[in-house]
Amino acid sequence: WGWRKSLSFDLIQEWVLKNPEASICTAQGAKKFKDIAIFQDYHGLPEFRMAVANFMGKVRGNRVTFNPDRIVMSGGATGAHEDDCLLLGLIPERDFWVPVPYYPGFDRRFEMANWGTASSSTCESSTISRSREQPWKNAYEKAQKANIRVKGLIITNPSNPLGTILDRETLKSLGFHHEKNIHLVCDEIYAATVFTQPRFISIAEILEEEDVVCHRDLVHIVYSLSKDMGFPGFRVRNPCTHYNDAVSGLRRERCRVSGWVSTQTQCLIASMLSDNEFVDRFIVESAKRLEARHTKFTEGLEEQGTTCLKSNGGLFVWMDLHKHLKEQTFEAEMALWRTIINIVKLNVSPGCSFHCPQPGWFSVCFA
Amino acid sequence: WGWRKSLSFDLIQEWVLKNPEASICTAQGAKKFKDIAIFQDYHGLPEFRMAVANFMGKVRGNRVTFNPDRIVMSGGATGAHEDDCLLLGLIPERDFWVPVPYYPGFDRRFEMANWGTASSSTCESSTISRSREQPWKNAYEKAQKANIRVKGLIITNPSNPLGTILDRETLKSLGFHHEKNIHLVCDEIYAATVFTQPRFISIAEILEEEDVVCHRDLVHIVYSLSKDMGFPGFRVRNPCTHYNDAVSGLRRERCRVSGWVSTQTQCLIASMLSDNEFVDRFIVESAKRLEARHTKFTEGLEEQGTTCLKSNGGLFVWMDLHKHLKEQTFEAEMALWRTIINIVKLNVSPGCSFHCPQPGWFSVCFA
């Protein structure tokens, strides 16, 4: 649930067996064992950061490159987000803006208030992108009137739970926030799960465009291999920040609070992700398999009369069950959720847990 | 510096090559790759907890056993200590008692005030144990008079920086704190580095004795493989607590804040530490090599006219250079420290950074 449990592991396993020198536990790699086991630099292994930067570029179609020196590794997703906020001087409570529906983990992390944002249009239109600039502006004005200071906007692109991606115009409109000196945290944790058109556009690409009014220093990209490669157990999470001054501070903070990735795992991942031939094949094959599974899953639902929000990324779909609600309330949504969990035995999540403003939506994992 | 850099790695490397099934990156172990990579339970792999409990018992001469269900894993030392305190309801500032000299990392972790404790006797006598019960009582009374509440006592045994161990009588005297309902955090991170007599006595042994007045619920043992096995990069730190109610809370907290150990590393360590023949050999051989290196190092110093506090554990010695100070002040200590670092190019730490109450002591690593 929530990970590509068996989707592309054959490719990874095959690579591991073909590249015994990548592991410190094989005859071919064991001579590195000592150096790897005692390595303690909170910058991470240089080859690890380089390989992650390489992979992040590949996932974004090689249209942008990432500077390994700006990669800050982290052992845990939660810690990573918290540290970013600490370092950016953001106070979790009420300092953040997140479009609804959003990943419930953010609540635990920041204890964020759910207000503002381009919420209501999200479920009505096919993607959040229809809303463009105006909702942000409205939300900002609303916040100002309520004397709530907004210091950061968090975007998960591709969206969790929607599985949709933000289009170029919407991403460009985020420049609005930079006029107001608001930090933009882009969680691109599902970047490699985009399986069909339109293609994913990273905020990093937008920053390269000439006509974009954007302070690079205010943009922070959060990334991870948990979802894109399917390694949640390995704890490889690398927030990559463009906020120059924060990098060294973040590294120290991360080292202090959230530990880091086991050097044994850094070593293996470094070797795997710097193999361009493998990475190219993995990205293509993985997208192909995700698309096939998504098609099979959504077509199956449609045959049962259930539609989903049209999506092209992520490992989940946003399923519309509002017509099965006894009444259009969140109580009825919870009742339906209990029925699905207990009787249908399907592990779905109700929209209300994602702060969806309309009852009847459910998130369900297909990968 | 600070780790047994090359001391016993040949043994570990040899084991790894002889046990290819322990690694998910070998033909023999690769079939586990998927299950290990996606494993996400914050309890940790059951075999990992069992193996760590087994190893902790072995290191303590099999005189005590540890319950795997009471083992809480952590990816980082710092996070582990912080979480313990959070969960125990201890407020870092001024709530702790630590005998000086102590590991400076505790300051960063808890921002602890340096007061009370059996300090002055530490450097005058050969071990802290001479001071026994009275200093704790004096410090406690002093704290009460100053309206400072004391909720926790932290002991590092074997001591860092002293390399000495606490004797049975001293450990028993800690029962005094339990009368006052004070938590006792025993950091036994150097347990396997005791290379000569007297043997190391874990607080866990004391708890087994019939005549000890001690509330098990108030005792918490912090452990790690960073020092005892020499794997700082692998981030294997496992606080083991006897405080029953705290275990599940600690696990959740740890998962949230400090991440966990990469499952790839958990898997390898589990296999290695449950091999009793290897563990027995490793402990014996490692102690033998540490003793040889310690003897060579301290004899070399003595030939130069430098004495050290008599120690029998740890990877460092507590070196007495007070006669080389221009005057008996901490300013003179810092001046001498700079000379040693810059001219002698020996990486030592001045006693003042450990809150040593007397100038002239330096910590230096020999392993």
Q: For residues B307 and B30, what is the distance between their CA atoms, to the nearest angstrom?
A: 52
Which listed residue (A95, A187, A228, A320) is catalytic? A187
Which listed residue (A227, A243, A269, A320) is catalytic? A227
Q: Which positions ≥6 away from A272 have C-beta within 8 Å?
A: A12, A15, A16, A19, A22, A51, A278
Whether A103 is catalytic = yes
| Residue B344: per-residue pLDDT | 84
- Superfamily of domain A288-365, CATH level 4: Aspartate Aminotransferase, domain 1 (3.90.1150.10)
Give the residue from A25, A109, A226, A269 with the most B CB atoms within 10 Å of its CB, the best one to mutate: A25
The pLDDT profile of chain B, 367 residues, written as one tens digit per residue, is 334 456 788 899 999 999 999 999 999 999 899 889 888 887 889 999 999 999 999 999 899 889 888 888 776 555 556 555 555 555 444 566 777 788 887 766 555 544 334 333 343 333 333 444 556 666 677 777 777 677 777 888 999 999 998 888 888 877 766 677 778 888 898 999 999 999 999 999 988 887 776 677 788 888 888 888 888 888 777 667 665 566 666 666 655 555 578 899 999 999 999 999 999 999 999 999 999 999 999 999 999 999 999 899 999 999 999 999 999 999 999 999 999 999 888 889 999 998 888 899 999 999 8
CA torsion sign, A303 to A308 to A311 to A312?
negative
CATH 3.90.1150.10 segments of chain B: 287-365
Q: For residues A271 and B290, what is the distance between their CA atoms, to the nearest angstrom?
A: 34
| Residue A179: per-residue pLDDT | 72
For residue A233, give Cα distances in angstroms to A32, A226, B26, B222, B255.
23, 8, 18, 23, 12
| Residue A357: per-residue pLDDT | 81
DSSP assigned state of A164: -
| Residue B215: per-residue pLDDT | 75
User: Which among A264, A30, A22 has a CA at the least distance from the CA of B20?
Assistant: A30
Q: Is any Cβ of chain A less than 8 angstroms from the Cβ of B8?
A: no
Contact A6 B34 (CB under 8 A): yes
Considering only CB atoms, A262 lies closest to which of B33, B38, B264, namely B264
Q: For residues A123 and A333, what is the distance between their CA atoms, to the nearest angstrom?
A: 15
For residue B114, give Cα distances in angstroms to A114, B73, B331, B345.
43, 29, 19, 30
* CB pairs < 8 Å spanning A and B: 165
The number of angstroms, rounded, from the C-alpha of A240 to the middle of its chain's C-alpha atoms is: 12
Q: For residues A304 and A310, what is the distance between their CA atoms, to the nearest angstrom?
A: 17
DSSP E strand boundaries for chain B: 96-97, 152-156, 183-187, 219-224, 237-241, 307-308, 316-320, 348-350, 361-365
CATH number of A18-277: 3.40.640.10
Contact A262 B258 (CB under 8 A): no
Considering only CB atoms, B258 lies closest to which of A9, A22, A259, namely A259
Q: For residues A150 and A97, what is the distance between their CA atoms, to the nearest angstrom?
A: 7
Q: For residues B159 and B361, what is the distance between their CA atoms, to the nearest angstrom?
A: 15
DSSP assigned state of A259: -
Considering only CB atoms, A261 lies closest to which of B16, B256, B262, namely B262
Burial class of residue B92 in the structure, from the number of CB atoms within 10 Å of its CB (0-12 exposed, 13-18 middle, 19+ buried): middle
The string of DSSP letters for A48-81 reads: HHHHHHHHHHHHTTTSS---GGGB--BS-HHHHH
Rg (alpha carbons) of chain B, rounded to whole number:
21
Q: Are A30 and B16 in contact (CB under 8 A)?
A: yes
Q: Are B60 and B205 in contact (CB under 8 A)?
A: yes
Burial letters for A80-98: b for 16+ Cβ neighbours within 10 Å, e otherwise? bbbbbbebbebebebbbbb
Q: How many CB atoms lie within 10 A of CB B208?
A: 11
Considering only CB atoms, A234 lies closest to which of B16, B20, B263, namely B263
| Residue A244: per-residue pLDDT | 56
| Residue A7: per-residue pLDDT | 74
Quick one: fold of B10-277? Aspartate Aminotransferase; domain 2 (3.40.640)
Chain B residues whose CB is inside 8 A of the A38 CB are: 3, 5, 230-233
Contact B38 A235 (CB under 8 A): no
CATH 3.40.640.10 segments of chain A: 18-277
Rg (alpha carbons) of chain A, rounded to whole number:
21
Q: Between residues 233 and 292 of chain A, which touch chain B (CB distance below 8 Å)?
A: 233-235, 255-265, 268
Q: Provide the residue type at B246 as one letter.
A: A
Q: For residues B319 and B313, what is the distance between their CA atoms, to the nearest angstrom?
A: 14
CATH number of B287-365: 3.90.1150.10
Reading the block at residue B245, the tokens are 């109610």
Q: For residues B154 and B162, what is the distance between their CA atoms, to the nearest angstrom?
A: 15
Contact A260 B40 (CB under 8 A): no
Q: Please give the order of strands across the beta sheet that includes A237-241.
A: A96-97, A152-156, A183-187, A219-224, A237-241
CA torsion sign, B342 to B344 to B345 to B349?
negative
Q: Between residues 140 and 179 of chain A, which touch chain B (CB distance below 8 Å)?
A: none
DSSP assigned state of A326: S
Contact A76 B38 (CB under 8 A): no
CATH 3.90.1150.10 segments of chain A: 288-365
Q: For residues A263 and A269, what is the distance between their CA atoms, to the nearest angstrom?
A: 10
Q: How many CB atoms lie within 10 A of CB A109?
A: 20
| Residue B208: per-residue pLDDT | 84
Backbone angles phi, psi at A26, to 5 degrees: -120, 160
**β-strands B183-187, B219-224: how paired?**
parallel
For residue B279, give Cα distances in angstroms to A188, B162, B199.
44, 26, 18
Q: Which residue has the tokens 């029953």?
A: B244
Q: Between residues 62 and 121 of chain B, which touch chain A (CB distance below 8 Å)?
A: 74-76, 78-79, 82, 108
CATH 3.40.640.10 segments of chain B: 10-277
* Block mean pLDDT (10 aa), chain A, length 367: 61 93 92 88 88 91 88 66 57 63 72 41 38 61 72 84 87 74 85 93 88 76 84 76 62 59 90 94 93 95 92 93 94 96 90 88 91
Peptide bond into A198 cis (omega under 30): yes
Give the residue from B38, B45, B252 with the most A CB atoms within 10 Å of its CB, the best one to mutate: B38
Q: Is any Cβ of chain A less than 8 angstroms from the Cβ of B37?
A: yes
Give the residue from B25, B225, B256, B282 with the most A CB atoms within 10 Å of its CB, the best one to mutate: B25
Peptide bond into B101 cis (omega under 30): yes
CA atoms within 13 A on the CB side of B251: 16
Q: Is any Cβ of chain B less than 8 angstroms from the Cβ of A232?
A: yes
Strand, coil or helix: what is A24? Answer: coil
Chain A residues whose CB is inside 8 A of the B108 CB are: 256
